[in-house]
Amino acid sequence: MSKTILIADDEPEIIELLKLFLERESYRIIEAYDGEQAWNYIRQHPIDLAIIDIMMPALDGFQLIKRLRNEYKLPVIILSAKNRDSDKILGLGLGADDFISKPFNPLEAVARIQAQLRRAFEFNEPEEKTISAPSTTVGRLTLDHTACVVYRGDETITLTPLEYRLLNTFMQAPGRIFTKQQLFEQAWSETYWEDDNTIMVQISRLRDKIEDRPRQPIYIKTVRGLGYKFASKDDFDGKKT
């Protein structure tokens, strides 16, 4: 079944360019030229992936992503000429799954879009073949592989697909040190090609959700000069978390 992609950009030539390449791959395209129009389409149509510009009238891309993430889990790619590190960090921090800078290579954009759709499709498969147990528990955290949510005691914490894959990578190997490259290739399922703060932003978002005190994490710990590791079960023996 053909996937539906929303392209929200106030530059018609950008939409037409992407539409040309994506329709060749049999995707259905919905066009929006401002943030409010994009939001209405998201609410009215089943969208599989959204490509969102930052600088748009009525509702800018950052506001649109923030509003979208309150209700939807669909993959989001930012496509923008605002490509400073601060813009990338803010966009990823608000919930975008990828960031493509203008000007861009349309073939690379299509490849990134296809990668995000593959991940979203695999994430929504009813059965995860690589995980035999229905849940994984470390300390007070229990990762439910069926519902793809994490429980902290009695509290239910909703995860995005990317957050689920990242947390699952950690919880399947508590105590193991992961480099940024290993985390990226495990959670993003593609080759690590650039250190653009993506990992740091996603780790920060995950800590905000699962840690009682994100600035003093007890689960996801930074190992200076090496990467990150997740607390082992032994760390919680006899301790209250």
* pLDDT tens digits, one per residue of 151-170: 998 999 998 888 898 999 99
> Could you read off the pLDDT of 7-35 as tens digits, one per residue?
999 999 999 999 999 999 999 999 999 99
Phi and psi at 223, nearest 5°, equal -110, 105
Q: How confident is the model at residue 200 (pLDDT cuts 50, 70, 90)?
A: confident
pTM for the model: 0.59
Say whether pLDDT at 140 is over 60.
yes
Instruction: Enter the tokens of residue 31.
Output: 């066009």
Phi and psi at 102, nearest 5°, equal -85, 145
CA distances 71 to 39, 42, 95, 111, Å, are 11, 10, 12, 26
Give the contacts of 194 (CB within 8 A, at least 6 positions apart): none
Using DSSP's 3-state secondary structure scheme, residue 91 falls into helix
Tell me the chain's radius of gyration from C-alpha atoms: 19
Give the contacts of 82 (CB within 8 A, at least 6 positions apart): 54, 55
> Residue 101 and residue 89: Cα distance in Å, rounded?
13
> Could you read off the pLDDT of 46-98 as tens digits, one per residue?
899 999 999 999 999 999 999 999 888 899 999 999 888 888 888 888 889 99
The pLDDT > 70 percentage for the chain reads 89
Note whether 157 and 151 are within 8 A (CB).
Answer: yes
